[in-house]
Amino acid sequence: MSPIRELYDNPAAMEPLLPVDRSGGLKELAAELLAKSARLGGALHPVTRRSVMELLRAMNSYYSNLIEGHNTHPIDIERAMQNDYAAEPAKRALQQESRAHIEVQKLIEGRLEQSPDTEVASSEFLCWIHREFYERLPEEFRRLATRSGGEDWVQPGEIRSCEVEVSRHLPPMAASLPRFLARFAEGYKPARMDPLQRIVAAAASHHRLAWIHPFLDGNGRVSRLFTHASLIQAKTEGHGLWMASRGLARRSDDYRAALAVADQPRQGDLDGRGNLSNKGLVGFCRFFLTTAIDQVEFMTQLLDLDAMQARITAFADLRRARHGAPEELSSLLRGVFLQGEVTRSEAAWMLGMPERTARRAMGDLLKDRLLVTDGPGQPLRLGFPVAHVGYYFPRLYPEGVELGMTL
């Protein structure tokens, strides 16, 4: 057995779990993230807020899978959520993967809402994320080619039972994974930390889980979904209206480089007391937190009420010019955005139309999902169909992707 394999048989090999930052810079970033996230979307009506969060789950799926090299157009993701799958097997598989990510993220949010004290760093929770994700994937995403030319199968929710190599990193031996995961769960218990430490720990644990590489495949997606859970549990108010994956994907080379630097062993006596580099972990946490803050600031600009209403008005004017939409479409869309939901009679009044004429206009808006409802006679909410999302939320997706969406 090589020395490195002996080293990674002991959970002490991944210390430190929390970075030692004598400058205080990480806590300052954590405080900034908490404050800015808490202010994000505070003026949104709760119903509108839920609709935006639903849109952002799809966005998070797009970017998280993009980091893994799986590029699924947002329109295809939206179709998958409506059970409209492509006939082409490869495209259909990517749609299923994206839908799986969205569904598991929603499951995580629901579980934490029901049980806020869930130990998200526990092996049980991590295996639950992996199982829920992989049970939703098509067979071809569970089949892996081995270096010897054979095949291996990813078992949903099961810790890997063989040795792997990830780029230049050799993760812990399979037999020692239960001990590494037990130390991981113990080291990242939020009850032991103050609010700022929990935010820093969310960043640090993101790296350490990737370093452990507990599953045969899917570790990147599981790590990002786990970090989503960690930030919710750390009471990062506003999380859900911003997602780290967008920033990580936009800086994917920097993301991978920061992960690799934090993989390095301690660089001399001035680099902490653990086996791994404290300086590398501080650097990764700084990268992650600054990326998160950037995403909060981006979404804060998008969700500014005045700016949002101006974009809604511009969209309504353009739709009226191109498709002869009702004159008061802007008033209706802005009203629903601000109020969260309206009755059909209120919508008719906002359109300034007789009820029968308004019904036809609302039918067109419902067909295009600019308005959505839970059923006949139910209130109307604002929809954010992907084909129009670039008008409401410019730069949410990459420019080339937005060009593929039409009015």
Amino acid at 329: L
The confidence score (pLDDT) of residue 150 equals: 76
The Cα 255–Cα 242 span in angstroms is 18
Question: Does some domain include residue 325?
Answer: yes
The answer to whether residue 1 scores a pLDDT higher than 60 is no
Three-state SS at 380: strand
Are 277 and 351 part of one and the same domain? no
Q: How confident is the model at residue 159 (pLDDT cuts 50, 70, 90)?
A: very high
The alpha carbon dihedral of 368, 369, 375, 377 has a sign of: negative
Question: Does some domain include residue 142?
Answer: yes
The confidence score (pLDDT) of residue 404 equals: 53
Are 297 and 323 part of one and the same domain? no
Question: Does some domain include residue 344?
Answer: yes
Are 366 and 251 part of one and the same domain? no
**How do strand 143-145 and strand 380-382 relate by DSSP bridges?**
unpaired
CB atoms within 10 A of CB 165: 10
The answer to whether residue 4 scores a pLDDT higher than 60 is no
**H helix or E strand, kind and range, residue 145:** strand 143-145
Beta bridge partners of 373: 380
- Average pLDDT of the chain, as a whole number: 93
Whose CA is closest to 318, among 339, 305, 310? 310
Question: Does some domain include residue 407?
Answer: no
Question: Does some domain include residue 402?
Answer: no
Are 188 and 294 part of one and the same domain? yes
Listed in sequence order, the DSSP H helices in 157-268 are: 177-187, 195-212, 219-233, 244-250, 252-262
User: Of the residues 250, 271, 302, which one is the last residue of a structural domain?
Assistant: 302
Are 292 and 309 part of one and the same domain? no
The confidence score (pLDDT) of residue 402 equals: 67
User: Of the residues 287, 302, 317, which one is the last residue of a structural domain?
Assistant: 302
Phi, psi (deg, nearest 5) at residue 365:
-70, -35
The boundaries of the domain holding residue 109 are 3-17+36-302
The confidence score (pLDDT) of residue 403 equals: 54
Question: Does some domain include residue 403?
Answer: no
Are 108 and 198 part of one and the same domain? yes
Q: How many domains does the chain have?
A: 2
* 326-338: pLDDT as tens digits: 889 999 999 999 9
The answer to whether residue 389 scores a pLDDT higher than 90 is yes
The confidence score (pLDDT) of residue 407 equals: 54
User: Of the residues 262, 278, 302, which one is the last residue of a structural domain?
Assistant: 302
The Cα 198–Cα 205 span in angstroms is 10
Taking residues 172-183, report their average pLDDT: 96
Q: How confident is the model at residue 170 (pLDDT cuts 50, 70, 90)?
A: confident
Q: Which two tokens stand for residue 39?
A: 């202010």
Beta bridge partners of 300: none
The confidence score (pLDDT) of residue 324 equals: 84
Are 275 and 351 part of one and the same domain? no
Taking residues 233-254, report their average pLDDT: 95
The answer to whether residue 84 scores a pLDDT higher than 70 is yes
* 10-39: pLDDT as tens digits: 999 999 999 999 999 999 999 999 999 999
Scan for tokens 């206009």, then name that residue: 361
Q: Which two tokens stand for residue 387?
A: 């084909």
* 253-309: pLDDT as tens digits: 999 999 999 999 999 888 888 899 999 999 999 999 999 999 999 999 999 999 999
